[in-house]
Amino acid sequence: MKIKIFFVLIALNYNLYSQTWVQKSDLPANGRFSSFSFSIGNSGYIGGGQISGGIYINDFWEYNEEGIWTQKANFGGGLRFYAVAFTINDLGYICTGYNGVCKKDVWTYNPQTNGWTQKNDFPGVARYGSYAFSIGNKGYIGMGSIGGPPFLNDFWEYSSTNDTWVQKPSFSSIGRYGVSSFSINGVGFAGLGSDNGNGSYFNDFYEYNPIIGTWTSKPNFPGASRYNAVSFATNTYGYIGTGQIGINYTYENDFWQYNPINEIWSSLPDVGNTNRSAGFGFTINGKVFIGLGYSSSQQYLSDLWEFTPATYSISENYLINDLKIHFNREFNQLILNSRNNESLTIKIFTINGVEKMNIKTCSNSINEINIKNKGTYFYSIQNNSYSKTGKFIIL
């Protein structure tokens, strides 16, 4: 059977905001770098890090949509530097890090009670400088340093339901730290980072499918290879910016947007007026915030910058290997139009792995399936000689 490859076709309607960075109120505490950060609801949170004199700290702060900083209960795990964080079901999860020794404890923060709760330890080697993201009720942590090369290359999945960990495949056989990562609509992304042991810095980029547990190479990050960049996602787009390039302490303040649908990177305005490494980032209601870090002039920064990205509405019209996938918004129907000369078996899964449909199409057939829920779906297409998996998004 001859397989035809088509590009994804997207119709975009633009609703553009003014894309400039606006300086907001500084953190009312010591400048610092390598803090952990996350967002819940209408607030962003940052904690820990290292301040001048190489001192590790454990203070914890909330920044709300009104632009007000409020100090919260100190991080429950004590002094902490270079930890990772992610959110699941309106709880913040903080794991690993360093305070003179490498750490592997796991803590949750509940903004409703302003309280910390310890969970089961991370089962991998204690470390710092890892990457993390969350998908549904699962958290993911990978790579990092134990104090020097060789760096780690493992990857782990955490179930918040069972408070258990399972090791998963890594995106790279090369250990590294300072990796950038985020998740969008049920899919994870990771890349970049450093292997200082060999003087290597990376700009590769990968997508993680949690349903089948595999990584797929995506277009490389177009900026300079780096580590300790800020990375996060909002409004179905991923963002990476700032960070350190090479071993000569060259810092950046560039900022990039990744579109996971057409797999295109776009350059956006530079962050603020200071190059930095190991800053933090979070999002509040579609706005992105970057701040703190260590500057090229060797300052511990306490500044905060706000940016409002352009927003898009998307109408799906996908062509995938002789299968056209279109979502009819008027009737809430997913239309599968097979233009193939052979029958296909098509399976559709939710981001949680629930099989929504299992269809066997005839050649040159049209199938209309009612789908009520928006979100990200994974598909599997098979016949006697060919199989393909992927995803589509209904907004």
- Do 335 and 301 share a domain, yes or no? no
Confidence band for 298, pLDDT divided at 50, 70 and 90: confident
Identify the domain boundary among 266, 281, 309: 309
Query: Residue 51: which domain range?
Result: 17-309
pLDDT of residue 228: 96
What is the average pLDDT across 383-395?
63
Percentage with pLDDT > 70 across the chain:
77
- Do 123 and 203 share a domain, yes or no? yes
Q: How far apart are CA 320 and CA 3, in angstroms?
A: 10
Identify the domain boundary among 261, 277, 309: 309
- Which tokens sit at 25? 């109120």
- Do 186 and 276 share a domain, yes or no? yes
As separate numbers, helices (DSSP H) first and strands (DSSP E) second, the chain gives: 0, 37
Q: Establish how many alpha carbons lie within 13 A of residue 323's alpha carbon, considering only the half-sphere containing its beta carbon.
A: 27
- Do 327 and 300 share a domain, yes or no? no
- Do 279 and 376 share a domain, yes or no? no
Q: How far apart are CA 11 and CA 62, in angstroms?
A: 38
pLDDT of residue 369: 63
- Do 247 and 357 share a domain, yes or no? no
pLDDT of residue 1: 30
- Do 153 and 194 share a domain, yes or no? yes
pLDDT of residue 164: 98
- Do 216 and 290 share a domain, yes or no? yes
CATH number reported for the structural domain that contains residue 162 in this entry = 2.120.10.80
Identify the domain boundary among 287, 309, 331: 309
Residue 3 lies in a domain: no
pLDDT of residue 70: 98
Beta bridge partners of 239: 232, 257
- Do 385 and 324 share a domain, yes or no? yes
Q: How far apart are CA 152 and CA 142, in angstroms?
A: 8
Domains of the chain: total:
2
Secondary structure element (H or E) that encloses residue 381, with its range: strand 375-382
In this structure, what DSSP letter does residue 77 have?
T
- Do 237 and 381 share a domain, yes or no? no
Cβ contact 285:303 at 8 Å: no
- Do 234 and 368 share a domain, yes or no? no
Of 101, 99, 179, 90, give the one whose Cα is nearest residue 140.
179
Residue 10 lies in a domain: no
Q: How far apart are CA 327 and CA 315, in angstroms?
A: 8
Residue 12 lies in a domain: no
Q: Rg of the chain over CA atoms, in angstroms?
A: 22
What are the φ and ψ backbone dihedral angles of 55, each rounded to 5 degrees? -90, 130
- Do 204 and 76 share a domain, yes or no? yes
